Amino acid sequence: MRARELADHLEVSVRTVYRDIDALSAAGVPVYAERGAHGGIVLADGYRQALTHLAEDEVRALFVAGENPLAGLADVDARPLALQKLAGALSQQHRSAIQAAVNRLYVDPRRWWQPAQPREHLARLQQAVWEDRRVRLRYEDRNRTHTERTVEPLALVTKAGIWYLVVRFGREMRTFRADRILELHVLDERFERPPDFHLRDFWRSWVASYEAHMPSYPVLLKVGKRDFEDMRECWRGEVLAERPLSHTLLVCFSFPERAMAVRQLLAWAPRDIEIVEPEDLRTEVIACARAALERYAHRPAPAVHSA
């Protein structure tokens, strides 16, 4: 491309283009100028940017320490080896940046007390996804209902340490949790992937739809400031108003159902919490607390025999 065309495209002067070409050449990039009617600025065929051109922040982004996001897949052992090879090709300055990143930032995507994901199923699902093979699976949904179906696996997604399988079932797109798959058979039958399927766009749309349609039971609470942060680690809470004199907040917590709200509010009973609305929820929590008191108040604790 001619210098004038580059200058117009980049909205700079021709002098700036030539200055940048000299700077790139000095940095080792094989770019040069060819004279003649069909000449111009040329980048050598087959050139790829060298690893030495990575900035330190780009290197740190690649080598942040953390749990392997591919845990459970067949490629689980490939990532550490690939990073080791990549680090060996970098300069000493970049390797120092890697060491600094590893010791300063760690990413653990798993939730507390989360059970291990089904490694055998994930490895076989990955095989089916790579090879575009249909899968027959037996699945248990959230209501403990078992179903059997043959699906076309399109992709695997991990979110908060949980693996999901994106499939086409007939004309519909479905999403299944991998840890709810009870049996799995990879078939010899192949399928053609839909040409208009884009995983990132599908997943973002699916998550937005799922969150919008999740059941929600809102509860209005008066909560002490210190307790609010601990409570928000478990449930979604929104501050509606602050009462500085009493050091309390008026907050709205969303629970998936009323029964869950009752159980959680009973568990939070020792905290600085008061139910504001709905009023009948207060009545139900009081009734449950009285039932528990009647059950345990007049019974002696069972004797504990040591081994």
Band of pLDDT at residue 215, cut at 50, 70 and 90: confident
**So what's the pLDDT on residue 68?**
66
Its domain, for residue 21, covers: 3-43
Residue 49 lies inside a defined structural domain of this protein:
no
Residue 254 lies inside a defined structural domain of this protein:
yes
**So what's the pLDDT on residue 76?**
58
Domain count, the chain: 4
Same domain, 132 and 174: yes
Q: How many CB atoms neighbour CB 66 within 10 A?
A: 12
What does DSSP say about strands 31-34 and 273-277: parallel, antiparallel, or unpaired? unpaired
CATH number for position 196: 2.30.30.520
Residue 300 lies inside a defined structural domain of this protein:
no
> What is the pTM for the complete model shown?
0.62
Average pLDDT over residues 233-242: 79
Same domain, 39 and 59: no
**So what's the pLDDT on residue 136?**
96
Cα–Cα distance measured from residue 274 to residue 177, given in angstroms and rounded to the nearest whole number: 37
In percent, the amount of the chain with pLDDT more than 70 equals 88
Residue 302 lies inside a defined structural domain of this protein:
no
Last residue of a domain, one of 213, 229, 251: 213
How far CA 168 is from CA of 149, 155, 174, 189, 299, in Å, comes to 11, 10, 6, 14, 57
Cα–Cα distance measured from residue 113 to residue 67, given in angstroms and rounded to the nearest whole number: 15
Which burial class, exposed, middle or buried, applies to 56 when counting CB atoms under 10 A from its CB (0-12, 13-18, 19+)?
Answer: middle
Average pLDDT over residues 73-102: 75
Nearest to 118 by CA among 137, 134, 142, 133: 137
Same domain, 244 and 169: no
Residue 259 lies inside a defined structural domain of this protein:
yes
**So what's the pLDDT on residue 246?**
67
Residue 272 lies inside a defined structural domain of this protein:
yes
pLDDT above 80 (res 11): yes
Band of pLDDT at residue 187, cut at 50, 70 and 90: very high
Range in 132-136, 234-238, 258-262 the model is least confident about: 234-238
